[in-house]
Structure formats: structure tokens, C-alpha cells
Structure 1
Amino acid sequence: MAQNNEVYKSEVWVADQEDGTYKNPIIYADYSDPDVIRVGDDYYMTASSFNAAPGLPILHSKDMINWKLINNALPQLIPKDTFKIPQHGNGVWAPSIRYHNNEFYIYWGDPDFGVYMVKTKNPNEKWDDPILVMEGKGIIDTCPLWDDNGEVYLVHAWAGSRAGIKSLLTVNRMNAEGTKVIDAGIHVYDGHDIDNTIEGSKFYKRDGYYYIFAPAGGVSTGWQVVLRSKNIYGPYERKVVLEQGSTKINGPHQGAWVETTNNESWFYHFQDLDAYGRVVHLQPMRWENNWPLMGEDFDKNGIGEPVTSYKKPDIGKSNPIETPAETDNFDGFGIGLQWQWNANPNVVWHAKLPGNNYLRLFSIKAPEGVPNLWMIPNLLLQKFPAPNFAASTKISLFPEEAETGKTAGIIVMGTDYATLSITHDKKGYIIKQTEAINAINGSEEIINSEKRLKTNMAYFKIEVEAPDGICQFSYSEDGKRFKKIGKPFKAQPGKWIGAKVGLFSISSQEAIRGGYSDIDWFKISK
């Protein structure tokens, strides 16, 4: 469901400087592999969502700087049964969003199943069910092109982990509806010699040239390549148009060329910041001799470098400050669009009833044999939103009939994770600070500290500090005096994603069924 019309302004990161300029990143959150289009006066963005559900976030802007999360185009990943279990690093890779014949299209490659497409006439509402456009292994980073001669094409890259080959770009023909690939494809660029791991392909046509924008050299260390040809199948000329150069913005690549209504060109891309994820930058762009020039050439080698701040795009009017939602007071119907589950959700995991100003998370039994929370599907998570921030919440635990075995809390999730939770035994309630180092490989969770609580309720807080994402846990029984607990934890990225912060409510296998936790609010603040 689309979000309400409230305007949200983050306390921890705002790109609009309110003086006619903006600072990068424009979104300091893990909207990996962003793609952006303009439709009339509106701009729409989507991004990779991998195994998280719902997937395919849809963001909207009027000025290219202030963005609102308005929808998720993919309520559940497909095949649905496959993604009932956490599939870390799999799922939705590098989508492209396009507008054709009054409809919005998103194409993405699932490295294990093939190329999917969803479409809609209204991006705020429900998107159509996914269509499998091309079945196959390792087909990723897909982008369509409706040519002016009536032909329809799809460019894509290859994931070496599945296809056994990478550093190739391939063009396929599609049917007129864009719902099915109709040939075996033709390779149009081989990057093995100078553009290893070329991927992230985006298709454009301008002034008779076909353009493929494609990053190479790796996620955190690479550069942005642009290829051009008068023929869809090449041969393509090559030019590097964006690199880190003398700046601190590593791996600037993979994104979207967007034109404003007055023909200004801009380029969105990401920067990989480890635990903070792949954050979104915006670069000025101009055309010279039918080649794009991005950012500014600080070191004068003919290749653009990313800017840290710049004048805002000229769209002819000013717009209110707005950022993707973070805090959730749980006072509406449903939970905020920023929340994602660790796998396809089950309706019995939570309840958010109209009129109840809290979220109820039921105590769901952990799958048998799991040593930690890495493979728990019902983790409710959102992205790190800024270099420095605090996440806080108030949780009450209701074990019902069970004497032991129910736990609820707050978590910083990655290949390592740490939690602060409330649990219980026959004597009463306990708060625990735990961690699982190397959780991805099955290490067991260990307790760093535990304290007795007087009641079944506590306030939880995590303070996160840059540049390393060091997390300090604290708790309070009255919401005023907070006590540090446990030890500092260094946040780690997940599989192709940044660290996430969020909530969980679980039961041991042995405990009697039942139990739940009530979450009064979840707040992101300074």
C-alpha cells in the first residue's frame, strides 16, 4: 500500500541545504544500484532489494533532491516458496525503471531464475504480478529499450557465480509488449581486457546513438563506462566518464542518466560504504561531442570525478524538504514502507490494528536447528539512515503461558549481528545484550551482559557512530535514565547490502506456543 501524504524530514540526514545547493549523498541509505526516470514533472527511483520483502522500493521526488518512499512494487519475492526462507544476497538485483505507452515498467535479473518484469499505470498503487521475461542462470542488471523503429531490446550483464562467465554485455530482442525475450542474444561488449566485471548496464538512445552506461572494476573500486554506437549491436566506442580520482568517493558508478524538463542532464550513482550500504549520489552531467561528462574533472585527466555538493537542479520552483521515512510511531493502519522482512512475510507474524497505537509482534518459533538469528525470516528491519544516529524503541513482552523461551528486542543485523532483548524465566524478566560474530557461517550467539528487570517492559537504544559504525547499546526502565549495557559492536554489512537495524520477536522450539511483544514506537534521532 502507498504511504500517506505526511511529509517526513529526517533528524539525521538531509541533503537539501536550503540555500539552492545540495550535499552528497542525497540519500544516506542503502538504495543500492539506483535507477531513476522522469515522467512529466515527477521523478521516480527504484533500487536493488535482494532477499528483503517487500522488494523494489519506489521513491518519488519533484526536484531530484528531496525523496519520499511511496510504495514497494514487489510485495513478495518469487518463487514465493523459495523466498519463505531467507535467501541472503539473492533475489532482486539491479532493477531498471522505464516509462512506455503510459505505463511504468521495472525489469530486474534474479541470478538464479532469470529476468522478471512488473508494470503499472500508477506507481502509487499495486503493481501487476511479475512476469518471467527470460529464464536463465546468471542473467543480471537488465534494462529495456523501446527503439523508435518499433523494435524492443534488452541489455544485460552476467553473474560469474551462476553463469560461469562475467565481464560481458549482451543484447536480446523482446516482443513488442516487452514481456518475452525472443532470441538467444548477441554479445556487444567484452570487458575482460580493460573493463573487468563490467555490469550494471543501462540502455539509452540519443541523437542517433545507442548508449550503454555500465560500471566496471568492482563495486567499491570501479569506474563508470559509457559505450556508444550507431548500431544496436555495435561495434561500440568506449569512454570512462566518472572515477574516484582525487576524491574520497570510491567506486562511483552504476545508476541513471536523467534529464529535467529544461534539458539539464544529471547522473545518479551509488558509493559503497560497507556497513552503511550503497548510498545514493547525484552528479551534474553535460554532453560534449555526443559523450556525457559527469561531475567535475578535478585532476584534469579528462575524466569526471564526483562532487560533494553542488547547486540543485533547476526545476523552476522550490519544494519542501522531504526524506524517506525512518521513525514509525505505529499509529496508522499497517507499518511504514521503510520496513522489510528478512524473507517473504507471513500474515501471522504481526498485527497492526486500526486504533491501536502500537505494533504487536508475535513470538514466532525459530526454525529447527538454526544456531543464531541469521536465518530467522521474521526479522523486521530497515536501512541505516546516516553516518551518526540513534535508534530507540519501547518494548513490552507478554510470554502468555510459557515459563521460558520468549524473546523480543532490537537488532543491528549483518554478517555479524548484535541485539538488546527482553526475555524471561520463572523468576521474572531479564534484559540481555548479545552478539553473534560470523553469524553468516553459523556461529552461536553469546551473551555479553544481562540484568534483571522489575517489569515486562523496557526502553532500548542503539547509538551508531561513524566512520566505522560502532554501536553502543543502552536501556532504561523509566524512559529517562539510560544505562549502557554490554560492549560496543562494530556493524557489518550483510550479503551485498549494508547493515540494518530493527526488531524481532521469537520463541524457542521448546516453548509452549503463544506469546507476543508490543512495540510502542521506533524512533531514529540524533
Structure 2
Amino acid sequence: MIRTACISLALTTGLIAAALPAQVWRSDQGDGTYRNPVLFADYPDPDIIRVEDDFYFVSTTFANAPGVTILHSKDLVNWRIATHVVDRLDGDPRYDLKNGGDYRHGFYAASLRWHKGLFYLAVTPVGHKTRIYRSARIGGPWAYKELDREAFDPALFIDADGTAYLGTSIGSDGTVTLLTLNDDLSAVTAAKVTYYNKGAEGSKIIRHNGYYYLFNAIPGKLAMTISRSRSLWGPWETKPSIDDKTGGHQGGMVDMPNGSWYGFVMVDAGAIGRMTNISPIFWKDDWPWWGRPDKPDVVPERSPKPIAGHPFTEPPSSDDFSSSKLGLQWQWNHNPDDSKWSLTQRPGFLRLHATRADGIWTARNTLTQKAQGPRMRAIAKLDIAGIKASDICGLGSFGKYSAQISIVGGAKNARSLRMQLTESTKDGPRTQVRVPAIAIAGNSIWLRTDMDFDMKQGHVAYSLDNRKWTEVGGPFPLAFDWRTGTFQGQQIALSCYNSTASGGYVDIDSFTLAPLATGLQP
């Protein structure tokens, strides 16, 4: 399908960047209230702590590199990316996209704590032993020591006497085990089962008013339970809490400077992935309840900000590639080949050299960032003069469905445009070429990817002047699939690969992300 239409000059890349916020969704309403989710993007498995007046939020990143993202906030609503703990994924050759890669695995469900002047982060790369990272600064450098076992979904908890524990359970069972750690959190000294909660995983532990509270996700029901005990070793009493219909199913609580508490919880939200909601907490009979007393255990869609007076801030998204380092919004799909990309070979551009691959699912140096909802538009301006025969370089979605609009190099410097859709299935990636070849003249081209997460649908288009756009290939689906997808929400991807030999390169001049207006047609 090919459809052409003109859009007004007000929607050119430069004016979008200047006139609209980079973030597609704005939680802070500017009137002292916020809306959930606080970030309309895939930030799964949240763990949030407070250190004096600062909040830190760690999230799962799977096989993306750099990995284990930490965000920072002053009010639990306005977040920026502070750092990535793991610069390069190590311990498995599949992290270099060998042997099919390590999709759906990698680094996830980390637990973050502050203790005696150090940040500690527990994380278990799937199939590997648990690591305890530590740093005096949230921005690093981080170093780790490996424990002697694999603790699934580790819950780091440090008691009032300074003793550190890791709680661990896996949903296929539900046995919650506490691992006692030594003084410097580098080794396990004891292990003891504390509780059985059928289907439980994703534990979080806090202490308040003489009770220990244990929060568990029950993934099979997309629900959360809360257990309490006077002792870490039980006996525990348990009550049901929220679920994905009322706010989410995996999370915990963080204390505020004034002594109150707020809850954070992950909710499965379809193709966008798993988002985080923030909720006030009230106490009744020494039990924490999400929401308000007049509507208990329902996460409010809108609520007063936890802490007033802090300005709007957001993670970065658009990029002119003028820095000598990649922005924190970017992650590679698995570890990159650093010899095949550069921000300095042509200052002001990101240069992606073609890597050898049979498709985007196996292409190293695919650069991604999180797609944003509810509706988003990404535009990349490319200089394609360096593309050689059989290179496939472009922009699109990446995930369960990877829709690419790409420039394909041909003989004698001829170039054409292709639209193809790759679906990840249990039998491997399956690619359908929807538009095989549209001749392209000149060295500059703009590529566009729209994603509407309400419609669960995307579109791609191209332009030779950033004013007149041509949509190609028709709509493509947006979906989340933890079994055969990436276990992540849809991502935005810039890629360049060649199936036959080492090829040329593409220079990316700019990338712009902006809201997609309701009803806007290409």
C-alpha cells in the first residue's frame, strides 16, 4: 500500500522539537496533580528507594546494553535517567548476539538499597548466579561480587540491626526463602524458608511500626498479595491487594520525608509493555492499602503530587547526535560491536556501519529506545551517501513485530526503499517484504514511524523534503509477547546490516520523538 499526503510546515522535525515536549506522555499536570502511569513506557519490575530527598527507581532491561537502568526523581512523578549500572553485558557469549542471542533473558528484576554510604543493587542474570553491585555514587562506577547461587527476583532488605537479606521465590512454586548475607553483602551465610505463598514471586520487604511486610506478585492472577509478621521468620498472615484491573500486580512501598508512604506497582499494558503506577498509601489496622479510604485498593488515575513544588522533568528522547557520547535514552539490542558505530567519524551524526546479519533479529548495533504511548511519532533524518550494495539501513519498530522502512543499496550506487515486517515466532523470526523496491534519488531522506497503542497499530512513511510524506506498506500490528517476543514493549529502532558481506554505512543526522495527534493522518 502506498499513500501520499502533505502535512503542514508546523509538523516539520525542527518545529516539532521546538514546540512540543520530548515526552509523549506527561504525568505532571502542572496544577499540583499527576496522572498514572508516571511514565507511559516499558519500565518493568520497579524497585524504588528514597535517600534523603532523592528517589531512585531501578528497572529491568533484559538483553539491552547498557543495562539495568536507574532513574532519579525529587517527587516520584517527574523522572530523569540517572545511569545504567551495567555498561556492557558480561558472562555469556549470547549477549554479543551469538547463537541466537539471549532474548527474554538477560538482566531483570533488580533490587536497590542504600546502606552505610553505599548503593547496593542485587540482580540475577537469567541462568547465572546473583550479583551484588555496589557504588558510592548512583552514577557509578559500579562493581559487583557474585554469590554462590541463583536467587530468582532477589529482594534486598537490610534490617534495623544492619543484617542484610535476600528474599527469593519463583512463581511456578511460591516458596519464599530468605538468604542471610555477610557484613559486606558479598556472600550468603545462611538460607531459610520463611513462607509459602502459592504462585508468589517479585518479592519486596519493608519494616514499619513493628511489623515486617512482604509484597508478592502472583503473575498467574496478575495480582498482588501483602503479608505481615512480627518476625522475618513468620508466622505470616496474608491479605489480597490490588491487581491489574485496579492498578497493578508487582511492586512495593517507599517512605516519604514526612513519614507517609507511597506505593509503586507494575501493570501489564499490552503492546507498550509494563508500566509503573504511583499511588498514595493509607494505613488501617496496621495494613497498608493502595489508594484512598473512600476507594481502597484502587490506584487513582489522578492524584495530588506526593511532593509539591518540583518542576517538570523527563527522560530524554529526541537527539541531534552532537555529543561525543550516546544519550542515556539509547540502548543497543545486545552488546554492540564498537568498531561498527561512531559519533566522532562525522561530528554531529551517528554513523552506523553495516554489520553482517540475515535480518534485524540477528543484526548487531541495532540502536533502540523505548516506544512511548499512547500515540507517538518518530522521525529520523538520514544521509545515505555511504550505503553500499545489499546494505539495509533504516528506522522502525522492534519487538514482537519489527516493522522497518529501510534504504537498500544496489549496484552502481543505486538505492531503493523497502518496507518489511518481521514477526518473532516460536519457530524463529519470519519476515514479510511488503514493499520490495521504490527507487530513491539524492542523499538525504527522512523516515518516520508512528505507533498508536490505543489502536495497537503502527505506520511507516518517508519524505525527501520533510514536508511531503508517503506512507508505505500499510498498517502493522503492535503487540507484547513474553514467550516469543522480546519480553519488552515495542521499541523504536535504528539499524544497518548486510546479509551478504561487509558493506557501507548510514549517517543519522537527527532523531525526533513527539506526540502523534489524535486523528492525524499521514
Q: Distance in 2 between matches of 1:70 and 1:11?
A: 16
8 A Cα contact 1:228 1:237, kept in partner: yes
Structure 1 residues 232-267: Cα deviation after superposition (integer angstroms, max 9, x where no partner) = 11111111232355x5x5xx1222311111112101
- Provide the aligned C-alpha RMSD in A: 2.0
In 2, distance between residues paired with 1:406 and 1:354? Answer: 19
Alpha-carbon shift at residue 15 of structure 1 (Å):
0.3
Corresponding residue for 1:522? 511
1:11 deviates by 4.4
The 8 Å contact of residues 297 and 305 in structure 1, kept in 2 or not, is answered as no
Once the two structures are TM-superposed, the CA of residue 13 in structure 1 deviates from its matched residue by 0.7
Q: What is the identity percentage for the equivalent residue pairs of Structure 1 and Structure 2?
A: 28
Residues 1:223 and 1:270: Cα distance change in structure 2 (over 3 Å)? same
* 8 Å CA contact retained: 2:355, 2:364: no
Q: Tell me the CA shift for residue 152 of structure 1.
A: 2.2
Is structure 2 residue 297 aligned with structure 1 residue 304? yes
Query: What is the letter of the counterpart of residue 268 of structure 2?
Result: D
**2-structure distance, mates of 1:29, 1:259:** 24
Contact residue 397 and residue 491 of structure 2 kept, 8 A: yes
Query: Which residues of 2 match residues 246-395 of structure 1 at below 5 A?
Result: 247=246, 249=247, 252-296=248-292, 304-314=297-307, 317-353=308-344, 356-366=347-357, 370=358, 372-395=359-382
Which residue number corresponds to residue 4 of structure 1?
none
Match of 2:460 among 469, 473, 479: 473
1:58 Cα shift?
Answer: 1.2
1:283·1:306 contact (CA, 8 Å) conserved in 2?
yes
The DSSP-based 3-state class of the residue aligned with 2:271 is helix
Q: Which moved more, 1:357-366 or 1:142-151?
A: 142-151
**Contact in 1 for aligned 2:254/2:263 (Cα 8 Å):** yes
Cα displacement string for residues 444-498 of structure 1 (whole angstroms, at most 9, x for unaligned residues): 4222113100123311011111313311111001111111111100122233211
Map of 1:163 onto structure 2: none
Aligned position for 2:205: 203
Give the Cα–Cα distance (whole angstroms) in 2 for the partners of residues 480 and 353 of structure 1: 29
What SS does structure 2 have at the residue aligned with 1:520?
strand
- Residue in 2 aligned with 1:131? 145
In the other structure, the counterpart of 2:13 is none
Helix, strand or coil for the counterpart of 1:231? coil
2:197 alignment partner in structure 1? 191
CA contact (8 A) 1:116 1:134 kept: no
How far off its partner does 1:216 sit? 1.2
Tell me, in whole angstroms, the C-alpha distance in 2 between the residues paired with 1:468 and 1:271: 19
- AA aligned opposite 1:397: I
Give 1:167's aligned residue: 174
Per-residue deviation, residues 385-421 of structure 1 (Å, max 9, x unmatched) = 2210101101222446x5x211110121112221000
User: Take 1:150 and 1:332, find their aligned partners in 2: how far apart are those partners?
Assistant: 43
Q: Evaluate the alpha carbon distance shift between residue 514 and residue 417 of structure 1 in structure 2; reply closer, same or farther with a 3 A threshold.
A: closer
Query: What residue in structure 2 maps to residue 55 of structure 1?
Result: 67
* Contact kept in structure 1, 2:23 and 2:315, CA below 8 Å: no
Distance between the aligned counterparts of 2:109 and 2:495, measured in 1? 28
Residue type matched to 1:417 in 2? S
Alignment of 1:106-121 (within 5 A): 106-121=121-136
Q: Distance in 2 between matches of 1:265 and 1:135?
A: 33
1:345, 1:411 → 2: CA distance? 18
Quick check: 1:158–1:167 contact (8 Å CA) kept in 2?
Answer: yes
In 2: Cα distance, 1:223 partner to 1:446 partner: 38
Question: How many pairs were matched up?
Answer: 487
Q: Deviation per CA, 1:261-290, whole angstroms, max 9, x where unpaired?
A: 111210111111121011111011022222
Q: What is the aligned partner in structure 2 of residue 425 from structure 1?
A: 410
CA contact (8 A) 1:374 1:440 kept: no
TM-score normalised by L of structure 1 = 0.88
Q: Under a length normalisation based on structure 2, what TM-score does the superposition of the two structures give?
A: 0.89
Residue 31, structure 1, aligned to residue 43, structure 2:
yes
What displacement does 1:24 show?
Answer: 0.4
Amino acid at match of 1:390: R
CA distance in 1, matches of 2:390, 2:29: 49
Q: 1:14 aligns with which of 26, 29, 33?
A: 26
What does residue 183 of structure 2 align with? 176
Structure 1: runs of 5 or more not aligned? 1-7, 161-165
Tell me, yes or no, if the aligned pair for 1:332 and 1:354 is still in contact at 8 Å: no
Structure 2: stretches of 5+ with no match in the other structure: 1-19, 516-522
Q: Distance in 2 between matches of 1:413 and 1:271?
A: 21
Kept in 2, the 8 Å contact 1:415–1:492? The answer is yes
C-alpha distance in structure 2 between counterparts of 1:177 and 1:282, whole Å: 32
Counterpart code for 1:155: G
Q: What is the distance in 1 between the residues matched to 2:171 and 2:385?
A: 46
Contact preservation (8 Å) 1:98, 1:105? yes
Shift of 1:53: 0.9
Aligned 8 A contact 2:34 2:77 in 1: yes
Asked which structure has the greater RCO (Cα within 8 Å, sep 6+), the reply is 2
